[in-house]
Structures are given as C-alpha cells and as structure tokens.
Amino acid sequence: MTSDSRPGSSVQRLPAEQLHAHELAALRAWDSHPCPAGWQLSPRAVRLFILGSDGETLGGQVIERKIYGNDVLVERAIVTLAGQRGLLLAGEPGTAKSLLSELLAAAISGSSTLTVQGSAGTVEEGIRYSWNYALLLRDGPTPAALVPGPLHRAMEQGALMRFEEITRCPVEIQDLLIPVLSDRVLHVPELKGEGAMLLSRPGFNLIATANLKDRGVNEMSSALKRRLNFETMQPLSDARLEGELVSREAARLLAAEGIETAPAPDLTGLLITLFQELRQAQALGVALEPLSNVLSTAEAINVLYSAMAESWYLGGGPPGPAQLLRHLGGTVIKDEADDRRRLGDYLRLVRSHRSDDPAWRALLEGEAWL
Ligand SMILES: Nc1ncnc2c1ncn2[C@@H]1O[C@H](COP(=O)(O)OP(=O)(O)OP(=O)(O)O)[C@@H](O)[C@H]1O
Ligand SMILES: [Mg+2]
C-alpha cells in the first residue's frame, strides 16, 4: 500500500509527477543550474525534489523530503543517471526502491510511467514493441502498425525507463537491454528504411529495481551487470527518522481514505521500538531469533494505518497499543508459525522486563489476538 493519492481524488493513486506537480513546477521555476541533455531539472534540483529543501522556500514552495536515510545513495544514483550507465536499485523488500525509481523518473523526465513490471511471464513484446495486428495484416509492417513498448518510447522521447523487479524476468529477457545500453540503438528488423533503427535521444536511461529476497541478482548475466551501477537501499536504522516517516505516511493514507484522525506520537514511538527490536533481533541486551518475514518501514506504516482505520470504522475512540499487536499478526506474521513463536519469545522478554511501563503493559494485552 502506498500513500500517493490526494483526499477526494477520483483515482486511488497518482503517479509522482502528478502528485508532486506543484513542487516540480516550483523547482523548474527556481532552477538555474547546469542540466544534462534531455533532463527537465538539474541534478541539484532533482536532489532537492527527493531529499527536500529543509524548510527553505524555492520557487514559492517548500520541498518535502520523500526519501529518508539514504542521502549519499540518492546523490550517487542521480550522478549515475546523468551518465550512460543504467542504475540498479537493489535491497530488501519495502526499502523504497520503487518509490525512489519513480521519483527519479518524475523529476528527470517528467514521467514515471514508462515502466516494465518484471515477472516470469514478461515477454519481449511488452518491453520493446509489438504490432497492431489489424494494420499489420492489412498493410504489412509499417511505422503506423508498430505499437511502441516502454523501451521504444523512452528511447524516442529521451526519457528514463523503469524496469521493476528485473531479476524476476528470465535472463534472456533481461539481456535484451545489453545492446540498448551499449550502443543506444534499438533495431526494428521488420521495418525497412526509416524506423528500422531507433537511436535514443539524450536523456534516455534505465532504472531497474531488484528485490534481494527474490531470486536475487546472481542470475543476472555479467554482461548486463557491467552496464549497470548497483546501489543497495538500506532499511532505516534511525528510530527518529523512521518514526517521522511512519506517522507522516500513515496520516497521509488515512487522509486519502477520508479518515479524520492522526496517529498519536506515543503510539508511533512504541511501534517503532517494536519494529526496530524485532528487525535487529535484539532487545534489552538479549539476542533473539530473527523473524523470517519482512519488517520494513512499509510494514510499520501498514500496521499503524490498520490500527487507526480499525478504530475509526469499528471501534469507539483512538486505538491503544494492544491494537498494534493485533495488526502485526495480519500484516507481518501472516501464516508463518515459526515467526509467531519468535514473536512470542520477544513478548515474553518484554513482559519480564517492561511490565511496569503502562504502554508496554497495554501492548501485551494484544497478545491474545495473535
Ligand atoms: N527510506 C525510506 N524513505 C521513504 N519512504 C520509505 C523508506 N523506506 C520505506 N518507505 C515507505 O515504504 C513504502 C514502500 O516502498 P517501495 O514499494 O518503494 O519499496 P520496495 O523497496 O520497492 O519494496 P519491494 O521490494 O517490496 O518492491 C514507500 O512508499 C514509503 O512509504
Ligand atoms: Mg518495489
């Protein structure tokens, strides 16, 4: 679940370039820095769009921070895209790889929708181009019968193409990108003359993402690896930053659903401690067995959102700490019996050391629902 929709909007989720249209327009008005060919903003303005302006007004607008805790990585990613190597954002699930790739494409090319979603069923036609069969049968292969895919369009427009979950595709499909990244040319052998060879315009490049819990990047060919710069997104380790992000995103999700309530700081603080201790498998000086399910910031946002939504729709008053545990079951533990046991070990430890603290005592009451 993501938070990218506005209250009252007629769609569930807007692409980043529409959601943040005011900020992008303000940055374009403010920007006088050197800009790589084909880019809509300078690298400096792209950095500000993603990491925020720290309260400073630029072009009449304060720019909100969108990615937390990976500042140096974000800077390197921008520099990579200004060159002729593609970018691969790798990392654990829920570390904002897709979000960063969307924000980069929105800021650099003004469009984040030239996207391929990688899966075992991704086929060549879905990436490069396909044909309108009615026109093909009538006139043969002509430019009018060609239906450009995201790669064709990105090369033609000089824009960024996003390739989500690239390592879930068969290696032969991934390797289609090698000649494109090396020679910046896409051949269309069916067309004769003009159109048979598409040379990319300045600004074209590739941002791929790969989830380290999936098949991983090991199966990627070394030829493709050499044409990509790798960046690994880290989960947020700073509890203060994570708390700020989780409460902001949960509040945004609630507002988007028309729910007029915001999470209390105490509740968010408790949730973040819970997540950080479970994620680090370390609490009160004791090493714990780590959970196998993912405990990313995205899951923390979902737990908080679910607890708040439940009390809004079904409860009578703001949610208490017990509700956090109730929703941890469905959003994080799922059907993993071993994780349930590991969580039980953690809660036993908490019970023996923190039962003097009313907030933790209240949280433990939720164990009955797990
Ligand atoms: N460091 C972070 N900065 C900002 N938002 C974050 C961060 N980490 C997680 N999030 C939140 O988590 C949500 C999910 O992130 P996203 O879907 O981009 O993750 P992902 O790494 O692509 O996950 P997956 O591997 O499951 O595809 C984001 O929309 C954002 O709200
Ligand atoms: Mg993703």
**Model confidence pLDDT, tens digit, residues 234-280:** 888 899 999 999 999 999 999 988 898 888 999 999 999 999 999 99
* Max intra-chain CA distance, the chain: 80
The pair of structure tokens assigned to 229 is: 């710069």
Reply yes or no on whether the pLDDT at 36 is more than 50: yes
Q: Is 87 helix (H, G, I), strand (E, B) or coil?
A: strand
Distance of CA 167 to the CA centre of its chain: 16
Rounded (10°) angle between helices 297-313 and 321-328: 120
The answer to whether the CB of 104 is under 6 A from ligand 1 is no
Residue type, 310: E
CB–CB of 104/207 below 8 Å? Answer: yes
The whole-number average pLDDT for the span 36-63 is 97
Q: How far is the CA of 119 from the centre of ligand 2 (A)?
A: 12
Task: Please tell me the distance from the alpha carbon of residue 267 to that of residue 261, in angstroms, as a whole number.
Answer: 13
Reply yes or no on whether the pLDDT at 148 is more than 80: yes
Reply yes or no on whether the pLDDT at 205 is more than 60: yes
pLDDT (0 to 100) of residue 262: 86
Band (pLDDT 50/70/90 cuts) for residue 193 is confident
DSSP string, 125-160: HHHSEEE-HHHHHHH-S-GGGEEE-HHHHHHHHT-E
Q: How far is the CA of 93 from the centre of ligand 2 (A)?
A: 7
What percentage of the chain carries pLDDT values higher than 90? 77
pLDDT (0 to 100) of residue 194: 79
The whole-number average pLDDT for the span 50-63 is 96
CB–CB of 174/220 below 8 Å? Answer: yes
Reply yes or no on whether the pLDDT at 232 is more than 90: yes
Q: How far is the CA of 156 from the centre of ligand 2 (A)?
A: 26
CB–CB of 241/249 below 8 Å? Answer: no
pLDDT (0 to 100) of residue 216: 57
Q: Produce one character per residue of 249-277: b if its CB has 16 or more CB atoms within 10 Å, e if not.
A: bbbbbbbbbebeebbeeebbbbbbbbbbb
- Homologous superfamily of 16-233 in CATH? P-loop containing nucleotide triphosphate hydrolases (3.40.50.300)
Band (pLDDT 50/70/90 cuts) for residue 8 is low
pLDDT (0 to 100) of residue 294: 80
Q: Which residues have C-beta within 8 Å of that of residue 332, sequence separation ≥ 6? A: 291, 293, 294, 295, 299, 303, 339
Asked which of 164-168, 244-248, 330-334 is least confident by mean pLDDT, the reply is 330-334
| Helix ranges, the chain (H) | 16-19, 21-30, 43-51, 71-82, 97-109, 124-127, 133-139, 150-157, 171-174, 177-183, 222-226, 239-256, 265-280, 297-313, 321-328, 337-354, 358-364
Task: Please tell me the distance from the alpha carbon of residue 310 to that of residue 193, in angstroms, as a whole number.
Answer: 62
316 compared with 93, residue with greater pLDDT: 93
Residue 92 DSSP code: S
Band (pLDDT 50/70/90 cuts) for residue 218 is low
- For ligand 1, atom 25, which residue shows the shortest CA distance? 93
Band (pLDDT 50/70/90 cuts) for residue 303 is very high
Pocket perturbation via mutation, ligand 1, pick of 95, 242, 276, 301 by most ligand atoms within 8 A of CB: 95
CB–CB of 224/174 below 8 Å? Answer: yes
Task: Please tell me the distance from the alpha carbon of residue 267 to that of residue 276, in angstroms, as a whole number.
Answer: 14
The whole-number average pLDDT for the span 100-121 is 96
